[in-house]
Every structure is written in structure tokens, then in C-alpha cells.
Amino acid sequence: MKYISTRGQAPALNFEEVLLTGLAPDGGLYVPEQLPQFSLDEIAGWATLSYTDLAFKIVQPFVGGCIPDADLKAIIDDTYVDFRHPAVAPLVQLDKNEWVLELFQGPTLAFKDFALQMLGRLLDYVLERKQQKVVIMGATSGDTGSAAIQGCKRCSNIDIFILHPHQRVSDVQRKQMTTVTEGNIHNIAVEGNFDDCQSMVKASFNDKRFLPADRQLVAVNSINWARIMAQIVYYFYAALALGGPHRKVAFSVPTGNFGDIYAGYLASKMGLPIDQLVVATNKNDILHRCISNNDFSKQQLEHTLSPSMDIVISSNFERMLFDCYDRDGAAIKDLMERFQTEDVKITDAAFANVRDLFDSHAVDDEQTVKTIAEVYEASEYLLDPHSAIGVEAARAARRNSDVPMVTLATAHPAKFPEAVMKAGYPHEPALPHHMADLFELPERCTVLPNDLAQVHKFVVDNITA
């Protein structure tokens, strides 16, 4: 399995190389040259597999022999041990043909654990084998950071630096990151927004000269292909549980960096019959405007009750556009470079492709709160604000009520007490047992200005010997 860049000018890599990188040297993102294809009969044969056995079937072809099967199987078997539900990703029914897929049963209570528990173990395995030390830089709007820290904190070959927007993540999210005080974990609160953090991380990948020569820079954000790969699995798992592949299923996905829904799009390209993919956004609705109206113009980032989706510049949309432009790397390079400085439109042909693949809907804070309240009233099921946006978008954009519609519940409501209590829930939702002492633990975090040179100095000064 080879991985190529969306901008067409970088050397192809194998899985191990792509795991240990971030952006391609031409500024693009890596994607598989060819996707594995599964027949309906093959997929149907997986209906009784456990989550981990299914994950192995889907992940193994992407690894392309870089890790022996027995070792890969052991890594995947270990990946979900800390999930709190035996199904790993349980489905909960809200109404006739309306479901939520709970992706928050992992250690940090968000869907990011699915990929970052695996990524941490893959990195540990590969780095031990190569006896190599690396630096991780990641940007978070609240959830990737803690999931990456939990996934990687035991890896002695990794120093991890996580940038989050200062005072713009929830208290639970911040404490999940800053109370992990192992020496190789560094939290940086940037005086800026998530886009600022993400653009500093991407700039670091584009020019790595700030790092000592013996350290490679590795990504934990969804620019890292391995993140996307692990997220494909739960689309198959949910569809199989609801009668797939011989019955189509629809998905609604709370969206920010476009990694999660892109994984759903890949699942369908790999052979899973999916009826509809709904891109659900908050008021930061560039993706909704682009998908519905070919308006790909950047607007000021707004802070909302769903802070993890407060993202304007969405990394993985480029991966999807690459396909919608018939894999024309030069056209994507031109489009993405112009997108930095001007309002762009995608070509008519690419727009038609996008419209074929996705529906979209944007939900503001007022409606988010209303949906949390309505769903709780109707079924006593408490949604977090991100998942509520997914449910609301599913209801608004749904095309066929005979098809099961699955909303990805991307976070646990206890991470976002503000939104939940605005919806009339009488108290802060309880944190699961393993986090009961979160608010008593000491925190370690460094506040830095929105300045790349200062962030780089901090990174270099804190790399362990």
C-alpha cells in the first residue's frame, strides 16, 4: 500500500513512513494510492465479529505488510481495553430508524479515543523497533489533545506538545490535558483560536528546521493518515449492526476538521452501502456553505457552545476535494494556495461531485440547546452539544425515513456542562468513575502568545534528552 500527496508533488510513502509524518513536503495530505475494496458478501460475513476483529479486517490492508499480522492483531486487541462499554461503540435508539452511535466510551470521553488509542500503540511499536525518538506537535479545540496525551503518554520515545486555544476549551477538556504531568507531556495554551493553533502546527510541518536534526516531527491530528484509517471501522460496525450491507444506512456527523465524515466517505468507497452522509456544522459553517452553495469563503471564527467544532480551516476537506477533482494534485495545490488569501469557489464539476456525496446543515447555539432539551424530554437521553448538532442536522437533512439514520455521538455530555445546563438539565452531568478526582488534581500548562517563534523555542527547550 502506497500513500500519495493530495498536491501531487511529494514522494509516495509506505504505511510506516506515513504514520511517522504529518503534512507531505508539498504541503498536501497523504491518502492511499488505492483503497481496499470489499464485496457485499465479504462485508456480510463480518456481521458477528467483535469490534476488534472487525477493526483488524479493515485496518490490515492499509498497513500493507509494514507490521506483521500477529503484531498488528495484538496492537488492535489491546487498543480498546480501556473502553467502558463491551460493545466499544454501542448504538442507542432514539426513535423509529433514528439512532446514535456512542463514540464516547473511551478513556477521554470523545470519539478521538478510537484512533488515538490505536495511534499511540502503533507509534510505540514502530519507534521501539526503530529505536527512534520523535516530537509530536498537535493542535486541539479540546478533544484531540487529551486523547493524544492518553494515547501516547506511556511512549518513552515521544515528547508531546499540545496547543489549545487559551480559555476556549471547557474546564473538563482543559483539565483532562493539564492534569497529566508526566515529563514528556507539554500543554501550551495559545492566546488565539483553534485555527491559530492548527496553522502553527502545520507551519511547523512545512518548515521543520527549528527541531534538532535527530528528531522527527509526527502528527496526532487527523492530518495523520492513521487517524482516519481507525475511524473507518465504526461505520462498518454500525451498518452491520443495523442490517448492512444488504440494507443501506445513513450517517450524520458533527463536523469540524472533516476527518470523521471523510472516514465515512471512505467506508462507502470501500464497498459499504451508505445512503446519505450529512455534514453537521455549528455556526462555523464554511463546510455547509461550500457543500450547499459552493461558497468556500472564510469567515471570522465564532466561539460556540460546541467548542470542539469551532474550526474554519478544515484539514481533511482537501482529501475529499482531491477525489472530487479526479485526483488532480496540481489543481488542488492551486486551489488550496489561493484559499489561504482569497475567497475561492470549487469548479462546477467538483461541486457536482461534492453535492452527490454529501448533504449538510448548520445549527446555531440556540437550536443546539433546544435539541438537547427536546431529545431529553422525549427519550431521557442526554446529548452533548456536538452530538445534538448531529441529531438536529440528521432530522433536517434526512432524505428517506425508511433508512436507519445514525448520528455519531462524538462526546460525552459531562465534558460540556454549560450547554447541557442551558438546556434545562438540573446539574452538571457526572463524570465517569475513572475521572471522579479530575477537579482535585494539579495542573501544568504554559500560556504563550500566538507567535510561532515562541512556540518553537518552548518546544526545543523542553525536548527530553
Ligand X SMILES: Cc1ncc(COP(=O)(O)O)c(C=O)c1O
Nine-digit cell string for 149: 496525551
Q: What does each C-alpha distance from 412 to 208, 394, 446 come to in angstroms? A: 36, 19, 27
Q: Is 256 in the site for ligand LJ64HWYM (CB under 6 A)?
A: yes
Q: Is 410 in the site for ligand LJ64HWYM (CB under 6 A)?
A: no
Among 150, 222, 281, 282, binds ligand LJ64HWYM (CB under 6 A): 222
| Contact present, 92 and 100 (Cβ < 8 Å) | yes
| Contact present, 151 and 117 (Cβ < 8 Å) | yes
Residue 63 or residue 280: which is nearer to ligand X going by CB? Answer: 280
The binder of 255, among ligand X, ligand LJ64HWYM, none, by C-beta within 5 to 8 A per type, is: ligand X
Q: Is 22 in the site for ligand LJ64HWYM (CB under 6 A)?
A: no
Catalytic residues: 112
Q: What does each C-alpha distance from 198 to 240, 322, 365, 452 come to in angstroms? A: 35, 21, 24, 11
CB of 169 to ligand LJ64HWYM, least distance (A): 8
Residues in CB range of 383: below 8 A, 6 or more apart: 100, 371, 372, 375, 376, 391, 409, 413
CB of 162 to ligand LJ64HWYM, least distance (A): 9
DSSP structure string for 337-348: HHHHHS-B---H
Taking the C-alpha atoms of residue 147 and residue 181, their distance in angstroms, rounded to an integer, is 15
Among 32, 36, 107, 259, binds ligand LJ64HWYM (CB under 6 A): 259
Binding mask 112-151 for ligand LJ64HWYM (x = CB under 6 A): ----------------------------xxxxxx------
Residue 404 or residue 417: which is nearer to ligand LJ64HWYM going by CB? Answer: 417
CB of 221 to ligand LJ64HWYM, least distance (A): 4
Residue 30 or residue 125: which is nearer to ligand X going by CB? Answer: 30
Chain position carrying cell 448538532: 389
Other CB atoms within a 10 A radius of the CB of residue 246 amount to 11
Count of residues interacting with ligand LJ64HWYM (CB under 6 A)? 13
CB of 254 to ligand X, least distance (A): 4
SS3 463: coil
DSSP 259: H
The binder of 140, among ligand X, ligand LJ64HWYM, none, by C-beta within 5 to 8 A per type, is: ligand LJ64HWYM
CB of 130 to ligand X, least distance (A): 29
CB of 2 to ligand X, least distance (A): 24
The binder of 150, among ligand LJ64HWYM, ligand X, none, by C-beta within 5 to 8 A per type, is: none
Other CB atoms within a 10 A radius of the CB of residue 394 amount to 26
φ/ψ of 21, rounded to 5, equals -140, -165
CB of 315 to ligand LJ64HWYM, least distance (A): 6
The binder of 254, among ligand LJ64HWYM, ligand X, none, by C-beta within 5 to 8 A per type, is: ligand X
Taking the C-alpha atoms of residue 259 and residue 348, their distance in angstroms, rounded to an integer, is 24
Q: What does each C-alpha distance from 221 to 144, 248, 267, 336, 422 come to in angstroms? A: 7, 30, 20, 19, 30
Backbone CA torsion sign across 320, 325, 328, 334: negative
The binder of 385, among ligand X, ligand LJ64HWYM, none, by C-beta within 5 to 8 A per type, is: none
Instruction: Tell me which H or E stretch contains 198.
Output: helix 194-206
- Residues of this chain that interact with ligand X (CB under 6 A) are 110, 143, 222, 254-260, 308-309, 386, 410-411
Task: Give residues in contact with ligand LJ64HWYM (CB under 6 A).
Answer: 140-145, 221-222, 256-257, 259, 308, 315
